[in-house]
Amino acid sequence: MKNSDIHYHLNGDILIFAKDTCFCVHKIILEMASPALLDKLEEGYDLPTINLPDENSSTIDIALSIIYPRHFIMPIWSNVEALLHFADKYTICKVYVAGIAFLDQNFKQKPEYALYLANKYQLSFLFTETSKLILDQFPTYEYAPALKRLPREVYSMLETRYLKYMHDFARLSIHFFLSTYKHRCGKVALHNKELTQEIEKRILIIVEKPIKPPSTVWDIMHEHINVADNIECHKGFMKHLDERFKSIFGKFEPLNSVEGGRYISISRRWK
């Protein structure tokens, strides 16, 4: 049994044993951080002890570094799941918040793993945001190990949403976008010709293989259309185009509620 290099405080009054490591910590710190952990307190030969035989010593080291005011270590991808599990098990809010903050700041790096953790710990906002990135590149993430750890019904939600997106391509046509638009200009024929040429060009780009990511399709269809005249009528058409686009593909939202590209997503709400 070795002593922790960081958290063996000589003036501590509680010993924690995890795997092959001993930690000497302060009861007052644990009382503030995790009363549930103190429920495991037992009388020892020298000091009261807490035995955590199922916990990895490195997880305890990092958790204590988050709890103690003088030592703060941010979670990383290799330990965030273990830290969230430990924090959830013993209701350690400070460690739990640190884990969630890490995921919020870094989910773009590993969206498939972040989605798995968001589902496991019922993080609705993170679940939706990570699903946007995964659905945007679903053929790339489809067989990712982290996604295979999801409950079957959650993985099916991803599959169903992406398949709907693929099937919606069949509804793309010039007629769909232009037939119901009511011009507000005096040069209907000329404006209609300009719009027809532009929409046809965009649809041909979109349907050309390989299948484009949802955010790319949104960008292509919403790109500014240059017209020689009929500016006000043209603005009206762009609004009409967006409404027709939504009627085909459903709701698109920006990532992380900021301006930029638009993505499809799935959502979950827990009680």
**For residue range 129-138, what is the model confidence (pLDDT) as tens digits?**
999 999 999 9
Q: How far apart are CA 138 and CA 164, in angstroms?
A: 13
Query: 219-228 long-range CB contacts below 8 Å, 24 or more apart?
Result: 219/261, 219/262, 221/245, 222/262, 225/194, 225/195, 225/198, 227/191, 227/194, 227/195, 228/190, 228/194
Strands 49-51 and 14-18: what pairing? Answer: parallel
pLDDT at 221 over 70: yes
Q: How far apart are CA 227 and CA 234, in angstroms?
A: 8
Strands 21-25 and 49-51: what pairing? Answer: unpaired
How confident is the model at residue 257, as a pLDDT?
64
How confident is the model at residue 189, as a pLDDT?
85
Among 43-57, 135-149, 226-240, 255-269, the range with the most confident prediction by mean pLDDT is: 135-149
Q: How far apart are CA 236 and CA 246, in angstroms?
A: 16
Start-end of CATH 3.30.710.10 domains in the chain: 1-75
User: For the chain, what is the mean pLDDT?
Assistant: 91
Q: How far apart are CA 238 and CA 57, in angstroms?
A: 59
Phi, psi dihedrals of residue 51, rounded to the nearest 5°: -100, 125
4-24, pLDDT tens digit by residue?
A: 999 999 999 999 999 889 999
pTM over 0.95: no
Choosing among 3.40.50.300, 1.10.760.10, 3.30.70.20, 3.30.710.10, the CATH entry for 1-75 is 3.30.710.10
